[in-house]
């Protein structure tokens, strides 16, 4: 399965009122492995970024003056994305901007080029309801190193999103490590009859019992006397 993780940076928040894309970063995964076949563009938006946007991405107006316009990279970008599953964090925002850029150069809407669009923000809200689900928050929650992300950058954010997605869909495995490789699972394990073993029972000592009771007391205080362990013991004794 070919998957592309995509992120954009823009001059502001509203494509409808004239804001433009200034950076596009794409990271390719094939069968859940990084391929290195990535795409990255800086673009001349033909307008200045809003002050608040500059604080987010730090890409100066002067830096973008000699960069290509979207029209110059549109064919290359859409050929690269064609027929892939596109994975974006807050897809509505990025797809809205890309639709506007495609419209301005007379091309079809974004979704007509790709197989599907998956929104990791929607996924995260379903998995972690009521919690912060920004990319930074997910990196922190899932153990993804984002220490290099002092400012937003489309390619770096796409790389982080790929790692976040792997964690969201497969647990806490690192992006490039298969803890249970298909070959390693083909092991002829010898069956052991555990009934032949006499396992010792080690009782808690006085200090451990005291620590356990103290922990239960603290739980009682914080739960208003609803510690399940003590309720069950009380029911048995009764």
In the chain, count H helices and then E strands.
9, 6
**pLDDT attached to residue 6:** 98
The more confidently predicted of residues 182 and 83 is: 83
**pLDDT attached to residue 89:** 97
Q: Does the pLDDT at position 75 exceed 80?
A: yes
What does the pLDDT average to over 149-174? 83
Q: Are 6 and 87 in contact (CB under 8 A)?
A: yes
Start-to-end Cα distance in the chain = 59
Q: Does the pLDDT at position 174 exceed 50?
A: no
Q: Are 13 and 94 in contact (CB under 8 A)?
A: no
Structure tokens at 178: 């298969």
Instruction: Write the pLDDT tens digit of every residue in 86-131.
Output: 999 999 999 999 999 999 999 999 999 999 999 999 999 999 999 9
Structure tokens at 10: 């823009």
Give the least confident one: 46-50, 108-112, 152-156. 152-156
Alpha helices, H only, the chain: 51-57, 61-64, 70-81, 91-104, 120-127, 135-142, 154-170, 206-223, 228-237
Q: Does the pLDDT at position 80 exceed 60?
A: yes
Across all residues in the chain, what is the average pLDDT?
86
CATH number assigned to the domain covering 2-170: 3.30.420.10
Q: Does the pLDDT at position 236 exceed 80?
A: no
Instruction: Write the pLDDT tens digit of every residue in 193-206.
Output: 766 767 677 888 88
List, in order, residues 6 or more apart from 230 with CB less than 8 Å away.
Answer: 216, 220
Q: pTM value?
A: 0.71
pLDDT band for position 25 (cuts 50, 70, 90): very high
Structural domain spans, the chain: 2-170, 206-237
**pLDDT attached to residue 93:** 97
Q: Which candidate in 50, 89, 152, 212 is catalytic? A: 152
Q: Does the pLDDT at position 214 exceed 90?
A: no
What does the pLDDT average to over 163-174? 75
**pLDDT attached to residue 183:** 46
Q: Identify the helix (H) or strand (E) that includes residue 3.
A: strand 2-10
Q: Does the pLDDT at position 39 exceed 70?
A: yes
> Is 212 labeled as catalytic in the residue annotation?
no
């Amino acid at each position: 399965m070919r998957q592309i993780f995509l992120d954009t940076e823009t001059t502001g928040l509203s494509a409808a009122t004239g804001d433009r894309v200034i950076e596009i970063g794409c990271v390719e995964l094939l069968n859940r492995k990084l391929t290195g076949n990535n795409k990255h563009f800086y673009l001349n938006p033909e307008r200045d970024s809003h002050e608040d946007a500059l604080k987010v991405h730090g890409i100066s107006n002067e830096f973008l003056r000699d960069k290509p316009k979207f029209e110059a990279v549109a064919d290359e970008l859409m050929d690269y994305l064609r027929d892939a599953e596109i994975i974006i964090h807050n897809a509505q925002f990025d797809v809205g901007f890309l639709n506007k850029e495609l419209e301005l150069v007379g091309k079809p809407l974004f979704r007509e080029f790709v197989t599907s669009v998956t929104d990791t923000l929607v996924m995260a809200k379903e998995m972690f309801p009521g919690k912060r689900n920004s990319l930074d928050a997910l990196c922190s929650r899932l153990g993804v190193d984002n220490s290099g992300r002092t400012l937003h950058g489309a390619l770096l954010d796409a790389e982080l999103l790929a790692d976040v997605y792997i964690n969201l869909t497969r647990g806490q495995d690192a992006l490039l490590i298969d803890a249970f490789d298909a070959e390693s699972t083909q092991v002829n394990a010898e069956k052991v009859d555990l009934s032949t073993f006499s396992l010792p029972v080690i009782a808690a000592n006085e200090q451990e019992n005291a620590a356990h009771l103290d922990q239960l007391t603290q739980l009682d205080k914080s739960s208003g006397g609803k510690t399940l362990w003590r309720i069950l013991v009380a029911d048995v004794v009764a």
